[in-house]
Protein backbone atom coordinates (compact mmCIF):
# COMPACT_ATOMS: atom_id res chain seq x y z
CA UNK A 1 0.00 0.00 0.00
CA UNK A 2 1.35 3.40 -1.02
CA UNK A 3 0.40 6.93 -0.04
CA UNK A 4 -0.49 9.09 -3.04
CA UNK A 5 -0.76 12.86 -2.72
CA UNK A 6 -3.78 14.29 -4.54
CA UNK A 7 -2.86 17.95 -4.92
CA UNK A 8 -5.02 20.64 -6.45
CA UNK A 9 -7.40 23.56 -6.15
CA UNK A 10 -10.10 21.91 -4.09
CA UNK A 11 -12.35 24.96 -4.28
CA UNK A 12 -12.79 24.75 -8.07
CA UNK A 13 -11.70 21.15 -8.86
CA UNK A 14 -12.75 19.37 -5.66
CA UNK A 15 -15.26 17.08 -7.36
CA UNK A 16 -12.75 15.85 -9.91
CA UNK A 17 -9.96 15.32 -7.37
CA UNK A 18 -12.46 13.53 -5.11
CA UNK A 19 -13.35 11.17 -7.97
CA UNK A 20 -9.68 10.31 -8.48
CA UNK A 21 -9.07 9.93 -4.74
CA UNK A 22 -11.94 7.41 -4.55
CA UNK A 23 -10.40 5.33 -7.34
CA UNK A 24 -7.02 5.32 -5.61
CA UNK A 25 -8.61 4.09 -2.38
CA UNK A 26 -10.45 1.37 -4.31
CA UNK A 27 -7.06 0.20 -5.50
CA UNK A 28 -5.95 -0.12 -1.87
CA UNK A 29 -3.79 3.00 -1.54
CA UNK A 30 -3.83 5.74 1.08
CA UNK A 31 -4.67 9.24 -0.14
CA UNK A 32 -3.30 12.53 1.15
CA UNK A 33 -5.48 15.40 -0.13
CA UNK A 34 -3.60 18.71 -0.39
CA UNK A 35 -5.58 21.88 -1.08
CA UNK A 36 -3.96 24.64 -3.16
CA UNK A 37 -7.14 26.60 -3.76
CA UNK A 38 -7.28 30.33 -3.13
CA UNK A 39 -10.90 31.35 -3.77
CA UNK A 40 -13.81 29.66 -2.01
CA UNK A 41 -14.07 26.98 0.66
CA UNK A 42 -12.82 23.56 -0.51
CA UNK A 43 -15.38 21.21 -2.05
CA UNK A 44 -13.25 18.26 -0.92
CA UNK A 45 -12.04 18.21 2.70
CA UNK A 46 -8.24 18.32 2.63
CA UNK A 47 -5.75 16.51 4.83
CA UNK A 48 -3.41 19.46 4.37
CA UNK A 49 -5.04 22.88 4.09
CA UNK A 50 -4.09 25.73 1.79
CA UNK A 51 -2.93 27.66 4.85
CA UNK A 52 -0.49 24.86 5.66
CA UNK A 53 0.69 24.83 2.06
CA UNK A 54 1.53 28.53 2.11
CA UNK A 55 3.08 28.21 5.57
CA UNK A 56 5.59 25.70 4.13
CA UNK A 57 7.13 28.71 2.36
CA UNK A 58 6.83 30.92 5.43
CA UNK A 59 3.78 32.79 4.10
CA UNK A 60 0.69 33.73 6.11
CA UNK A 61 -2.10 32.98 3.63
CA UNK A 62 -4.76 34.61 5.81
CA UNK A 63 -2.91 37.93 5.60
CA UNK A 64 -2.58 37.54 1.83
CA UNK A 65 -6.25 36.72 1.24
CA UNK A 66 -7.29 39.63 3.43
CA UNK A 67 -5.78 41.91 0.79
CA UNK A 68 -8.08 40.26 -1.82
CA UNK A 69 -5.23 39.88 -4.30
CA UNK A 70 -5.80 36.53 -6.04
CA UNK A 71 -2.49 36.75 -7.89
CA UNK A 72 -0.61 37.11 -4.63
CA UNK A 73 -2.56 34.21 -3.13
CA UNK A 74 -1.76 31.94 -6.09
CA UNK A 75 1.89 32.93 -5.82
CA UNK A 76 1.83 32.00 -2.13
CA UNK A 77 0.58 28.45 -2.68
CA UNK A 78 2.86 28.12 -5.72
CA UNK A 79 5.84 28.78 -3.44
CA UNK A 80 4.54 26.65 -0.61
CA UNK A 81 3.53 23.55 -2.60
CA UNK A 82 7.10 22.68 -3.76
CA UNK A 83 8.47 23.13 -0.24
CA UNK A 84 5.67 21.01 1.19
CA UNK A 85 6.05 18.13 -1.28
CA UNK A 86 9.83 18.12 -0.92
CA UNK A 87 9.42 17.84 2.86
CA UNK A 88 6.80 15.09 2.63
CA UNK A 89 9.07 13.13 0.31
CA UNK A 90 12.11 13.59 2.54
CA UNK A 91 10.07 12.34 5.50
CA UNK A 92 8.90 9.28 3.53
CA UNK A 93 5.24 10.27 3.81
CA UNK A 94 4.30 10.14 0.11
CA UNK A 95 5.03 7.67 -2.68
CA UNK A 96 3.49 9.50 -5.63
CA UNK A 97 1.54 12.61 -6.59
CA UNK A 98 -1.29 13.37 -9.00
CA UNK A 99 -2.90 16.71 -9.82
CA UNK A 100 -5.63 17.95 -12.17
CA UNK A 101 -5.96 21.45 -13.52
CA UNK A 102 -6.29 24.15 -16.10
CA UNK A 103 -3.77 26.94 -16.50
CA UNK A 104 -3.45 27.97 -12.85
CA UNK A 105 -3.75 24.46 -11.47
CA UNK A 106 -1.13 23.16 -13.90
CA UNK A 107 1.29 25.91 -12.92
CA UNK A 108 0.88 25.15 -9.22
CA UNK A 109 0.86 21.37 -9.58
CA UNK A 110 3.92 21.13 -11.80
CA UNK A 111 5.85 23.64 -9.69
CA UNK A 112 5.32 21.29 -6.75
CA UNK A 113 6.28 18.24 -8.81
CA UNK A 114 9.52 19.83 -10.02
CA UNK A 115 10.68 19.87 -6.39
CA UNK A 116 10.63 16.06 -6.35
CA UNK A 117 13.51 13.87 -7.54
CA UNK A 118 13.70 12.08 -10.86
CA UNK A 119 12.08 8.66 -10.53
CA UNK A 120 9.41 9.76 -8.06
CA UNK A 121 5.95 9.13 -9.62
CA UNK A 122 4.29 12.38 -10.70
CA UNK A 123 1.30 12.82 -13.01
CA UNK A 124 -0.37 16.06 -14.13
CA UNK A 125 -3.71 15.85 -15.92
CA UNK A 126 -3.94 19.18 -17.73
CA UNK A 127 -5.81 21.17 -20.34
CA UNK A 128 -2.35 22.31 -21.53
CA UNK A 129 -0.77 18.89 -21.99
CA UNK A 130 -1.04 18.83 -25.79
CA UNK A 131 0.95 22.04 -26.29
CA UNK A 132 4.48 23.11 -25.39
CA UNK A 133 4.93 21.76 -21.87
CA UNK A 134 8.61 22.66 -21.43
CA UNK A 135 7.88 25.42 -18.89
CA UNK A 136 5.85 23.00 -16.77
CA UNK A 137 8.03 19.89 -16.99
CA UNK A 138 11.43 21.59 -16.77
CA UNK A 139 14.12 18.92 -16.42
CA UNK A 140 11.99 16.51 -14.38
CA UNK A 141 10.07 13.37 -15.38
CA UNK A 142 6.59 14.80 -14.95
CA UNK A 143 3.99 12.87 -16.94
CA UNK A 144 1.61 15.32 -18.63
CA UNK A 145 -1.74 13.77 -19.58
CA UNK A 146 -4.23 15.70 -21.75
CA UNK A 147 -7.57 16.20 -20.02
CA UNK A 148 -9.32 16.38 -23.46
CA UNK A 149 -12.23 18.37 -21.99
CA UNK A 150 -11.79 21.08 -19.37
CA UNK A 151 -11.42 19.97 -15.77
CA UNK A 152 -14.88 21.27 -15.03
CA UNK A 153 -17.08 18.55 -13.64
CA UNK A 154 -17.59 14.86 -14.35
CA UNK A 155 -18.98 13.72 -17.70
CA UNK A 156 -18.68 10.82 -20.13
CA UNK A 157 -15.25 12.03 -21.31
CA UNK A 158 -13.71 13.26 -18.08
CA UNK A 159 -14.65 10.08 -16.20
CA UNK A 160 -12.72 8.02 -18.75
CA UNK A 161 -9.67 10.27 -18.65
CA UNK A 162 -9.56 10.57 -14.87
CA UNK A 163 -10.06 6.81 -14.42
CA UNK A 164 -7.07 6.13 -16.70
CA UNK A 165 -5.06 8.78 -14.87
CA UNK A 166 -5.81 7.11 -11.54
CA UNK A 167 -4.73 3.79 -13.02
CA UNK A 168 -1.53 5.36 -14.33
CA UNK A 169 -0.39 6.80 -10.99
CA UNK A 170 -1.29 3.53 -9.26
CA UNK A 171 0.83 1.64 -11.78
CA UNK A 172 3.74 4.00 -11.18
CA UNK A 173 3.71 3.60 -7.40
CA UNK A 174 3.11 -0.15 -7.55
CA UNK A 175 6.22 -0.96 -9.58
CA UNK A 176 9.85 -0.28 -8.70
CA UNK A 177 13.11 -0.57 -10.65
CA UNK A 178 14.44 -4.12 -10.61
CA UNK A 179 16.46 -4.91 -7.50
CA UNK A 180 19.19 -6.47 -9.62
CA UNK A 181 19.49 -3.29 -11.69
CA UNK A 182 19.91 -1.15 -8.57
CA UNK A 183 22.47 -3.55 -7.09
CA UNK A 184 24.50 -3.72 -10.31
CA UNK A 185 24.67 0.02 -10.89
CA UNK A 186 24.24 1.85 -7.60
CA UNK A 187 27.94 1.86 -6.78
CA UNK A 188 29.23 2.73 -10.24
CA UNK A 189 30.46 6.28 -10.85
CA UNK A 190 28.38 8.14 -13.42
CA UNK A 191 29.47 9.66 -16.71
CA UNK A 192 27.00 11.79 -18.68
CA UNK A 193 27.09 12.05 -22.47
CA UNK A 194 25.35 14.20 -25.08
CA UNK A 195 24.09 12.58 -28.27
CA UNK A 196 22.15 13.31 -31.46
CA UNK A 197 21.13 10.95 -34.25
CA UNK A 198 24.09 12.30 -36.20
CA UNK A 199 26.57 11.35 -33.44
CA UNK A 200 24.98 8.11 -32.23
CA UNK A 201 27.73 5.80 -33.48
CA UNK A 202 30.43 7.82 -31.78
CA UNK A 203 28.67 8.02 -28.43
CA UNK A 204 27.69 4.36 -28.41
CA UNK A 205 31.25 3.24 -29.18
CA UNK A 206 32.72 5.52 -26.50
CA UNK A 207 30.05 4.35 -24.05
CA UNK A 208 31.15 0.73 -24.41
CA UNK A 209 34.74 1.63 -23.57
CA UNK A 210 33.71 3.62 -20.50
CA UNK A 211 31.35 0.92 -19.28
CA UNK A 212 34.13 -1.65 -19.59
CA UNK A 213 36.12 0.56 -17.19
CA UNK A 214 33.37 0.34 -14.56
CA UNK A 215 31.35 3.50 -15.25
CA UNK A 216 27.62 3.89 -15.76
CA UNK A 217 27.01 6.14 -18.76
CA UNK A 218 23.82 8.21 -18.93
CA UNK A 219 23.13 9.49 -22.45
CA UNK A 220 21.11 12.67 -23.01
CA UNK A 221 19.48 13.63 -26.30
CA UNK A 222 20.73 17.10 -27.21
CA UNK A 223 17.26 18.55 -27.73
CA UNK A 224 17.42 21.48 -25.34
CA UNK A 225 15.70 19.68 -22.49
CA UNK A 226 18.32 16.96 -22.68
CA UNK A 227 21.18 19.41 -22.37
CA UNK A 228 19.54 21.25 -19.48
CA UNK A 229 18.88 17.97 -17.67
CA UNK A 230 22.47 16.85 -18.13
CA UNK A 231 23.75 20.17 -16.80
CA UNK A 232 21.45 19.89 -13.76
CA UNK A 233 22.88 16.49 -12.84
CA UNK A 234 26.41 17.86 -13.10
CA UNK A 235 25.47 20.80 -10.89
CA UNK A 236 23.97 18.40 -8.36
CA UNK A 237 27.38 16.75 -7.91
CA UNK A 238 26.24 13.36 -9.20
CA UNK A 239 28.70 13.06 -12.09
CA UNK A 240 32.29 11.79 -12.30
CA UNK A 241 32.92 12.78 -15.92
CA UNK A 242 31.35 14.45 -18.95
CA UNK A 243 31.44 13.09 -22.51
CA UNK A 244 30.11 16.20 -24.24
CA UNK A 245 30.42 15.07 -27.84
CA UNK A 246 27.27 16.80 -29.11
CA UNK A 247 27.26 20.54 -28.37
CA UNK A 248 24.71 21.27 -31.11
CA UNK A 249 22.29 23.04 -28.75
CA UNK A 250 24.56 26.07 -28.94
CA UNK A 251 23.79 26.42 -32.67
CA UNK A 252 20.09 26.70 -31.83
CA UNK A 253 20.78 29.15 -29.01
CA UNK A 254 22.88 31.41 -31.26
CA UNK A 255 20.88 31.29 -34.48
CA UNK A 256 17.35 30.91 -33.13
CA UNK A 257 16.48 27.22 -33.54
CA UNK A 258 13.96 25.31 -31.48
CA UNK A 259 16.34 23.10 -29.47
CA UNK A 260 18.30 25.60 -27.42
CA UNK A 261 19.47 24.53 -23.96
CA UNK A 262 19.96 28.13 -22.87
CA UNK A 263 22.96 30.43 -22.48
CA UNK A 264 24.60 28.44 -19.67
CA UNK A 265 24.99 25.20 -21.64
CA UNK A 266 28.55 23.80 -21.21
CA UNK A 267 29.13 25.72 -17.98
CA UNK A 268 28.21 23.18 -15.28
CA UNK A 269 31.23 20.88 -15.65
CA UNK A 270 33.57 23.82 -16.14
CA UNK A 271 32.45 25.63 -13.00
CA UNK A 272 32.29 22.46 -10.89
CA UNK A 273 35.70 21.20 -12.02
CA UNK A 274 34.27 17.92 -13.33
CA UNK A 275 36.63 16.14 -15.79
CA UNK A 276 35.34 16.45 -19.34
CA UNK A 277 35.97 16.14 -23.02
CA UNK A 278 34.15 18.40 -25.46
CA UNK A 279 33.66 18.03 -29.22
CA UNK A 280 31.88 20.29 -31.75
CA UNK A 281 29.35 17.59 -32.63
CA UNK A 282 26.49 18.73 -34.88
CA UNK A 283 27.35 22.43 -34.69
CA UNK A 284 26.71 22.32 -38.43
CA UNK A 285 22.95 22.31 -37.88
CA UNK A 286 20.15 24.45 -36.50
CA UNK A 287 16.83 22.72 -35.78
CA UNK A 288 13.34 23.80 -36.81
CA UNK A 289 10.01 22.03 -37.12
CA UNK A 290 8.25 21.27 -40.38
CA UNK A 291 9.47 23.37 -43.37
CA UNK A 292 6.63 25.87 -43.02
CA UNK A 293 7.78 26.73 -39.49
CA UNK A 294 11.19 28.02 -40.60
CA UNK A 295 11.31 31.83 -40.21
CA UNK A 296 11.15 33.72 -43.51
CA UNK A 297 14.43 35.50 -42.76
CA UNK A 298 16.28 32.25 -43.44
CA UNK A 299 14.98 31.89 -47.01
CA UNK A 300 17.71 30.76 -49.38
CA UNK A 301 19.77 28.94 -46.73
CA UNK A 302 20.92 25.32 -47.02
CA UNK A 303 18.22 23.07 -45.55
CA UNK A 304 17.94 19.32 -44.99
CA UNK A 305 14.64 17.63 -44.20
CA UNK A 306 15.52 15.16 -41.45
CA UNK A 307 11.90 13.95 -41.20
CA UNK A 308 8.44 15.51 -41.75
CA UNK A 309 8.61 17.23 -38.34
CA UNK A 310 12.30 18.28 -38.33
CA UNK A 311 14.05 20.64 -40.73
CA UNK A 312 17.78 21.25 -40.33
CA UNK A 313 19.58 24.39 -41.49
CA UNK A 314 23.33 24.52 -42.15
CA UNK A 315 25.29 27.02 -40.09
CA UNK A 316 27.30 29.56 -42.08
CA UNK A 317 31.04 30.26 -41.71
CA UNK A 318 30.18 33.47 -39.82
CA UNK A 319 27.90 31.63 -37.41
CA UNK A 320 30.47 28.87 -36.98
CA UNK A 321 33.14 31.40 -36.07
CA UNK A 322 30.81 32.78 -33.40
CA UNK A 323 30.09 29.26 -32.14
CA UNK A 324 33.79 28.51 -31.84
CA UNK A 325 34.31 31.67 -29.83
CA UNK A 326 31.35 30.91 -27.55
CA UNK A 327 32.44 27.33 -26.92
CA UNK A 328 35.96 28.47 -26.09
CA UNK A 329 34.58 31.02 -23.63
CA UNK A 330 32.62 28.33 -21.81
CA UNK A 331 35.59 25.95 -21.66
CA UNK A 332 37.87 28.73 -20.41
CA UNK A 333 35.80 28.66 -17.20
CA UNK A 334 37.07 25.13 -16.50
CA UNK A 335 38.49 24.41 -13.07
CA UNK A 336 39.14 20.74 -13.78
CA UNK A 337 40.82 18.69 -16.54
CA UNK A 338 39.14 19.27 -19.91
CA UNK A 339 40.15 18.41 -23.46
CA UNK A 340 38.76 19.46 -26.83
CA UNK A 341 38.62 16.84 -29.59
CA UNK A 342 38.12 17.96 -33.18
CA UNK A 343 37.18 15.54 -36.02
CA UNK A 344 38.41 17.50 -39.02
CA UNK A 345 36.61 15.48 -41.71
CA UNK A 346 33.07 15.80 -40.40
CA UNK A 347 31.25 16.99 -37.27
CA UNK A 348 28.06 15.09 -38.18
CA UNK A 349 26.95 12.38 -40.60
CA UNK A 350 25.63 14.94 -43.08
CA UNK A 351 28.65 17.28 -42.96
CA UNK A 352 31.05 14.70 -44.44
CA UNK A 353 32.38 15.22 -48.00
CA UNK A 354 29.61 14.52 -50.49
CA UNK A 355 26.87 15.00 -47.91
CA UNK A 356 24.26 17.85 -47.90
CA UNK A 357 25.91 19.89 -45.14
CA UNK A 358 29.52 19.57 -46.21
CA UNK A 359 31.05 23.04 -45.96
CA UNK A 360 34.80 23.05 -45.45
CA UNK A 361 34.94 26.83 -44.99
CA UNK A 362 32.35 26.72 -42.20
CA UNK A 363 34.15 23.88 -40.43
CA UNK A 364 37.51 25.65 -40.63
CA UNK A 365 35.95 28.85 -39.27
CA UNK A 366 34.56 26.86 -36.34
CA UNK A 367 37.81 25.07 -35.56
CA UNK A 368 40.02 28.14 -35.95
CA UNK A 369 37.85 30.37 -33.75
CA UNK A 370 37.63 27.69 -31.08
CA UNK A 371 41.40 27.20 -30.96
CA UNK A 372 42.19 30.90 -31.15
CA UNK A 373 40.08 31.82 -28.13
CA UNK A 374 40.78 28.74 -26.03
CA UNK A 375 42.96 28.95 -22.94
CA UNK A 376 46.46 27.79 -23.87
CA UNK A 377 46.58 25.18 -21.11
CA UNK A 378 43.48 23.37 -22.41
CA UNK A 379 44.39 20.32 -24.47
CA UNK A 380 43.26 20.23 -28.12
CA UNK A 381 43.35 16.95 -30.05
CA UNK A 382 42.72 17.23 -33.79
CA UNK A 383 42.12 14.05 -35.77
CA UNK A 384 41.91 13.44 -39.50
CA UNK A 385 38.63 11.53 -39.28
CA UNK A 386 34.88 11.94 -39.04
CA UNK A 387 33.07 12.22 -35.73
CA UNK A 388 31.53 8.75 -35.99
CA UNK A 389 34.78 6.96 -36.85
CA UNK A 390 35.80 4.34 -34.30
CA UNK A 391 39.18 6.02 -33.84
CA UNK A 392 37.53 9.29 -32.79
CA UNK A 393 35.13 7.57 -30.40
CA UNK A 394 38.03 5.71 -28.83
CA UNK A 395 40.05 8.90 -28.44
CA UNK A 396 37.10 10.62 -26.73
CA UNK A 397 36.68 7.78 -24.23
CA UNK A 398 40.38 7.32 -23.49
CA UNK A 399 40.95 11.06 -23.10
CA UNK A 400 38.06 11.33 -20.68
CA UNK A 401 39.45 8.42 -18.64
CA UNK A 402 42.82 10.17 -18.58
CA UNK A 403 41.21 13.40 -17.35
CA UNK A 404 39.31 11.53 -14.64
CA UNK A 405 42.51 9.90 -13.43
CA UNK A 406 44.22 13.29 -13.44
CA UNK A 407 41.42 14.77 -11.32
CA UNK A 408 41.59 11.86 -8.88
CA UNK A 409 45.36 12.30 -8.56
CA UNK A 410 44.83 15.93 -7.57
Domains of the chain by start residue, with CATH: 3-174 (3.40.50.12020), 180-409 (3.40.50.12030)
Q: Note the pLDDT tens digit of each residue in 274-292.
A: 999 999 999 999 999 999 9
Mean pLDDT of the 376-397 span: 98
Nearest to 201 by CA among 327, 5, 388: 388
Give the Cβ contact number of residue 117 at 10 Å: 12
Q: How confident is the model at residue 300 (pLDDT cuts 50, 70, 90)?
A: very high
152 exposure class (CB count in 10 Å sphere: 0-12, 13-18, 19+): middle
What one-character-per-residue DSSP string does 104-120 give? Answer: HHHHHHHHHHTTSPTTS
CA distances from 64 to 35, 51, 61, 70, 84 (A): 16, 10, 5, 9, 18
DSSP 297: G
The helix (run of H) or strand (run of E) holding residue 313 is strand 310-314
With a cut of 80, say whether residue 68 has pLDDT above it: no
Please, how many CA atoms are within 13 Å of residue 114, restricted to the half-sphere of its CB? 18
Q: What percent of the chain has pLDDT over 90?
A: 87
Regarding beta strands 30-35 and 96-101, do their DSSP bridges make them parallel or antiparallel, or are they unpaired? unpaired
Rg (CA), the chain: 24
Mean pLDDT of the chain: 94
Across the range 314-342, mean pLDDT stands at: 98
The pLDDT tens digits of the residues spanning 339-360 come to 999 999 999 999 999 999 999 9
Residues 360, 363, 367, 372: what is their CA dihedral angle, to the nearest 10 degrees?
A: 80
**Tens of pLDDT, residues 153-184:** 999 999 999 999 999 999 999 998 765 455 55
pLDDT of residue 184: 56
Q: Is residue 135 packed enough to be buried (19+ CB in 10 Å), middle (13-18) or exposed (0-12)?
A: exposed
- How high is the pLDDT of residue 179? 52
CB 319 within 8 A of CB 258: no
Q: Which of 177-186, 227-236, 367-376 has the lowest mean pLDDT?
A: 177-186
| Phi, psi (deg, nearest 5) at residue 265 | -55, 135
DSSP string, 220-277: EE-SSHHHHHHHHHHHTT--SEEEE-B-THHHHHHHT-S----TTTT-HHHHHT--EE
Confidence label for 187 from pLDDT (cuts 50, 70 and 90): confident
At 180 the pLDDT is 47
For residue 122, which of 36, 22, 4, 9 has the smallest C-alpha distance?
4
CA-based end-to-end distance of the chain: 48
Q: What is the mean pLDDT of residues 59-64?
A: 87
Q: Are 89 and 117 in contact (CB under 8 A)?
A: yes
Amino acid sequence: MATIAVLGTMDTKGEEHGFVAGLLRQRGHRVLVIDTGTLDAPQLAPDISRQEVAAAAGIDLAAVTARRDRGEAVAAVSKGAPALLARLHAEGKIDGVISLGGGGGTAIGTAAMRALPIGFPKLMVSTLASGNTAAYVGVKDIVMMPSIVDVAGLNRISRQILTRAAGAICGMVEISPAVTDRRDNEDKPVIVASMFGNTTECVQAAKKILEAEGYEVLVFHATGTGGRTMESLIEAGLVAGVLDITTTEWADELVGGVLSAGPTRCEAAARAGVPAIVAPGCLDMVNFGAPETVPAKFAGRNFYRHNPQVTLMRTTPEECAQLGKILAGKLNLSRGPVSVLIPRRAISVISAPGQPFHDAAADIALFDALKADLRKDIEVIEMDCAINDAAFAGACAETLLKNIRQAQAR
